[in-house]
Structures are given as C-alpha cells and as structure tokens.
C-alpha cells in the first residue's frame, strides 16, 4: 500500500480532521471511559483552554510522567494544540533521572499520577531542584503540592473557545511538536526535537505501509513515553481513525481476555509478547481470531516466531522495523508480503521517500553485503538536539544525513540487517564482531527466546564473545549445546566461548538490555 500524500498538517488539525471524518466512531476505550472522535476533539479543546488559563505560551515545554491512559493523550493534544511542546518522561525513571530531563528541557508544567505500582512520582521529586517547574498536575490520584486533572480542566472554563481557535491558527507544521530524550546509553540523555509536520507525515507513511485502518482496534501496550507507543501508537491511530485501547500495566491474562472481548486487530510489541502468548498454557481458551496486524522489533525475531505468529496466532501482517528517536522512531520497515526469513533477518528497507545507506569510516557508501554505519536522510530526521549544538553537528554533520551510530548490512534490494552499535563492537583475533549480529543468529537456535552478547577479555584472542541467553519455556538446552550449534551456524570468531542462562535480562530505564551490567557480571565471573 502506498503512503497517502496529504498536505502537511499540525496535530490539532489531525484531531479535528479525524472528528470530521470519523465523528461517531469510538476513538478511545480506557476501562469504563469511552470517547468518540467527536468527543475526543471536544476534549482536546477543553484541555487546550486549560493550558491557556495556566499561561502556557507557544514553544514552552510540558512534561508527562505517567503510565498509558486517555488522560495522557488529552494532556498532550491539549498542550500541542496551542503550541506547547510535549516532553514524555520514562515511567521507570527515579527522581534524579526525571529531574535531569525536567531541567534539561526547561519544562514549565509536569503531568503525572499520584501513584502507580506502589510508586508516588511526585514524592521522588521532593528533594530535587527544579527551578523552571511552575505547576504539577496529577492525571489520576492525589499528591501533596499537586493540582488534580479535574481542577486543572475546570480552570479553563473561563477561556473562550475562540481563544483556542486563535492559538491553533498560530501553530504551523514546522513548529516543534515534542522533545523525546534518548535513553542515555552513551552519556546523559539528549533531547530530540521534532516538529508537527514531519511526525504526522512519518506515521501517515508507516500506517499506510502496514495497512492500519479506521476499523482497527489498536491495543497499545508499548509505553506512551516511547515513540512506539506514542507516535506509532495513539498518533498513528488518530491519523487513521482507529480505536485506541491503552494498556497501563501489562498482564498477559488480562491482555488475552481483552483481545477476545474487544476484538483487537492491531497488537504491536517486542518479540517477548508474542512468545509469551504462544507459550501461555490456556491460550486456546481465548478467541484470538480478530488479530490482524503486528509490528515488532527491538530484539531479534526468530524465523519460527514469525511463522507461528502467522499460522498459530492468525496475523495477516507481521513486519519488523528499525528506527531511532532521532528519525521520529522509524526509518526502515518490512512490507506485508515479505517472507518470514526476510522479516526475521532484516529490519526492512527504507520507508517511502526516505534515503538509507551504509557507509565506511570516511562516509563512502559500501557495497551490498558489507558492514557499514547506517545513515538516514529524509523528512523524518530530527530538527536538532535541544540546546546541544555540538551533539547536533556530530549527528547531522551539516549535510542532512543522520549518523545513527548503528552498524548494518544492506542487501541488493535495500533491506537492512543490524549488526551492532559502533561503540559495542569488539575485536576477536583481528576480526570485528558486532553483538546484534551474533544475537540474531543465536535466536534462530531452537529453544532460545532471547540473546545478549558482550565482548570479554581473552589472553589469546584479545576479546571473545560471551552469551547471555533466556530459554523458551521448558526448553532443554545447555551451554555445550549452544556452543556446538553456534560452531555450525556462524564463523568461528563469532562463536560465544561461554554461555550463561538467565531468567530475565537486566534492563535500563529505557527498556533496553543493560549491556554495561552484563559486562560487569562477565568480568566478575
């Protein structure tokens, strides 16, 4: 399916257009709360009036630190409608981490919750210095020193709707929509600045490629603080007129029941979600026949998993994709008719109207099948890093090409396979090894659900690979079997010299495998 070529739009225009096109259709179902697209647009205006009353000016930042909910969406689209810039905060952050992002972004307002999973977010900020923060609002629950969402909205009732209309007219596609902070794996998080028009165009393109439709019921498990849950999640759904069903806390039994009850058609997520569903002992007790679309990635996707998703779970479309916060979250994507092998062993080819290439250390394009750093150029590339000209110059280089820092191989058809991060590369006897490449191969071994590889010192080879693995449920696999299988399936210098099995991987606040922690464990062993 080719992407739609709509004129560039702003976020408030997208919501208003969705109300005009899909008015009585359900836009959001969140527990007992249900909003049609007409009601969503009315709620957007109500929220925007409250932001006007609070004194928010165009370009000022509004942080949201909360689990997925309909209020999260209303806060975002209300602020964005009058030119406010949304700064999502990771719900795994501790107080100091949240304070860093609040201060780095200069956020004027914070929207959070009184409590979530036993944690009171406002309490974690009590001892933090936050000179720019003027107001904190709880979307749900109560907390000391915070205003409630209902009280916040009530303050906007004195603001004329005409004032919101005027402010919306002053927001343009080239204006900043949001600042998403990177996960900080290579230093302090950096704020990625993107604008209204490029985000909307990116997810018009993405939605068209995977076939998202207005009659889809979209269960959004990925957190809204991440581009996968926010932009490829509720933003894409609004663009298409689909129904949004936010999940605040993943519970497999509840999700399976919800798929049956709500006739869920769109279920994206990391490979572990589908592996868990397939392994669930009562899976066949639930009617999952409504499932239609899936977009996965973020970890190796075994060929057998793709086949099982199609044949056992009934997905018509299973695709993998690749992107960074710096490119609105996506730059390459598989197509619906790609083979299971291609979906498993690549992250797709460049999305329409975007350029992707692999280059050597001098910036020269390498031949197909050769490792190179992945570069991207197109409408999806960020504007800049917030208040960080040096990092911006390093990433963009002045020529419009985004240097991703990821290493990959592109085939003759333009499909990209990620082989690692430049900074994670280790050298075995003179050969460059990229962990992601070895991890992808290991995940093709029967019985292996997830893999993480790090380089560890070796007296003879300099460094060698060490594998950390998570088994499939009830799999009978040991270290010797993994090493023997690896010798049959990869070049000798890539073969892990030792293997450790874990119940689960250590994760950082960004939801990524904490490789630094694995290296520490390896060095202690």
Q: How far apart are CA 252 and CA 457, in angstroms?
A: 40
DSSP-H helix ranges across 317-433: 340-345, 389-396
Q: Is residue 205 part of a domain?
A: no
**What is the number of structural domains in the chain?**
3
Half-sphere exposure of 473 (CA within 13 A, CB side): 9
Boundary-marking domain end, from 195, 222, 241: 195
334 and 283 co-located in one domain: yes
Residues 172 and 57 in one domain: yes
How, if at all, do strands 135-140 and 26-30 pair?
unpaired
- Judged by average pLDDT, the poorest of 94-108, 170-184, 363-377, 501-515 is 501-515
Q: Answer with the one of 364, 388, 421 that is the final residue of a domain.
A: 421
- Asked whether the beta carbons of 379 and 198 are under 8 A apart, the reply is yes
Res. 188 pLDDT band, cuts 50 70 90: confident
Residues 395 and 429 in one domain: no
CATH, residue 495: 3.30.300.30
In this structure, are residues 313 and 289 in contact, taking their beta carbons and an 8 Å threshold? Answer: no
Q: Are residues 457 and 381 in the same domain?
A: no
Is 414 in the same domain as 277?
A: yes
Q: Are residues 20 and 100 in the same domain?
A: yes
Residue 421 has pLDDT above 80, yes or no: no
The 10 Å CB-count burial string (b at 16+, else e) for 365-380 is: eeeeeebbbbbbbbbb
Question: What is the predicted pLDDT for the residue at 2?
Answer: 46
Q: Tell me how far CA of residue 164 lies from CA of 56, 76, 156, 349, in angstroms.
A: 12, 15, 11, 41
77 lies in the same domain as 55: yes
Residue 169 makes CB contacts below 8 A (sequence gap 6+) with: none
Which pairing describes strands 448-458 and 462-471: parallel, antiparallel, or unpaired? antiparallel
Domain-ending residue, one of 149, 177, 195: 195
Q: How far is CA 443 from CA 65, 153, 305, in A?
A: 34, 49, 10
375 with 296, same domain?
yes
pLDDT of the residue at 510? 62
Q: Which residues pair with 498 in a beta bridge?
A: 466
Residue 61, classified by CB atoms within 10 Å of its CB into exposed (0-12), middle (13-18) or buried (19+), is buried
Query: Does residue 5 lie within any of the structural domains?
Result: no
Q: What is the CATH number of the domain that holds 53?
A: 3.40.50.980
Q: Are both 41 and 109 inside the same structural domain?
A: yes
Query: Residues 52, 152: one domain?
Result: yes
Domain with 489, as residue range(s), is: 425-524
Are 17 and 164 within one domain? Answer: yes
pLDDT value of position 3: 47
Predicted confidence (pLDDT) per residue in 330-340, tens digit: 999 999 999 99
pLDDT, position 278: 95
Are 16 and 43 in the same domain?
yes
Residue 244 lies in a domain: no
Residue 221 lies in a domain: no
Q: What is the pLDDT of residues 289-330, one digit of tens each?
A: 999 999 998 777 889 999 999 999 999 999 999 999 999 999
Is the residue at 236 inside a domain?
no
Q: What is the DSSP pairing of strand 372-378 with strand 402-410?
A: antiparallel
Residue 74 lies in a domain: yes
């Amino acid at each position: 399916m080719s992407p739609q070529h709509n004129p560039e739009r702003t976020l408030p225009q997208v919501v208003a257009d969705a109300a005009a096109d899909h008015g009585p259709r359900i836009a959001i179902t969140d527990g007992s709360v249900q909003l049609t697209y007409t009601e969503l647009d009315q709620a957007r205006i109500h929220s925007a009036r409250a932001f006007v009353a609070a004194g928010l000016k165009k370009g000022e930042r509004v942080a949201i630190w909360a689990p997925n909910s309909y209020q999260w969406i209303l806060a975002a689209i209300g602020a964005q409608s009058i030119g406010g810039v949304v700064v999502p905060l990771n719900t795994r952050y501790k107080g100091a981490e949240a304070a860093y992002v609040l201060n780095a972004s200069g956020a004027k307002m914070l929207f959070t919750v009184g409590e979530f999973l036993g944690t009171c977010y406002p309490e974690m900020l009590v001892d933090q210095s936050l000179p720019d923060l003027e107001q904190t609002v709880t979307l749900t629950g109560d907390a000391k020193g915070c205003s409630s969402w209902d009280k916040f909205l009530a303050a906007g009732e004195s603001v004329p709707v005409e004032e919101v209309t005027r402010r919306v007219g002053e927001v343009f596609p080239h204006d900043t929509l949001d600042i998403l902070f990177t996960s900080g794996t290579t230093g302090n998080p950096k704020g990625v600045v993107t604008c209204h028009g490029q985000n909307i165009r990116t997810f018009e393109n993405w939605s068209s490629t995977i076939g998202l439709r207005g009659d889809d019921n979209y269960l959004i498990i990925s957190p809204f603080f991440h581009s996968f849950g926010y932009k490829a999640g509720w933003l894409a759904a609004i663009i298409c007129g689909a129904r949004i069903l936010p999940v605040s806390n993943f519970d497999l039994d509840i999700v399976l029941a919800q798929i049956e009850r709500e006739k869920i058609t769109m279920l994206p997520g990391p490979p572990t979600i589908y592996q868990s569903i397939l392994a669930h002992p009562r899976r066949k007790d639930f009617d999952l026949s409504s499932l239609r679309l899936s977009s996965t990635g973020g970890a190796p996707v075994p060929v057998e998993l793709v086949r099982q998703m199609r044949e056992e779970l009934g997905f018509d479309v299973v695709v993998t994709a690749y992107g960074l916060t710096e490119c609105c979250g996506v730059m390459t994507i598989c197509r619906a008719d790609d083979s299971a092998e291609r979906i498993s062993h690549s992250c797709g080819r460049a999305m329409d109207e975007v350029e992707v290439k692999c280059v050597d250390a001098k910036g020269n394009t390498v031949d197909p099948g050769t490792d190179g750093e992945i570069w991207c150029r197109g409408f999806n590339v960020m504007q800049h890093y917030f208040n960080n000209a040096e990092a911006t110059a390093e990433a963009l280089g002045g020529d419009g090409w985004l240097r991703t820092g990821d290493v990959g191989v592109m085939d003759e058809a333009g499909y990209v396979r990620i082989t690692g991060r430049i900074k994670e590369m280790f050298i075995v006897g003179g050969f460059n090894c990229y962990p992601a490449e070895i991890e992808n191969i290991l995940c093709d071994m029967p019985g292996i659900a997830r893999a993480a590889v790090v380089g560890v010192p070796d007296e003879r080879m300099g460094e060698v690979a060490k594998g950390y693995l998570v088994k499939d449920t009830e799999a009978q696999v040991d270290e010797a079997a993994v090493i023997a299988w690896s010798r049959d399936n990869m070049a000798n210098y890539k073969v892990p010299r030792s293997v450790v099995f874990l119940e689960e991987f250590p994760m950082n606040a960004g939801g990524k495998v904490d490789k630094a922690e694995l290296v520490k464990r390896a060095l202690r062993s």
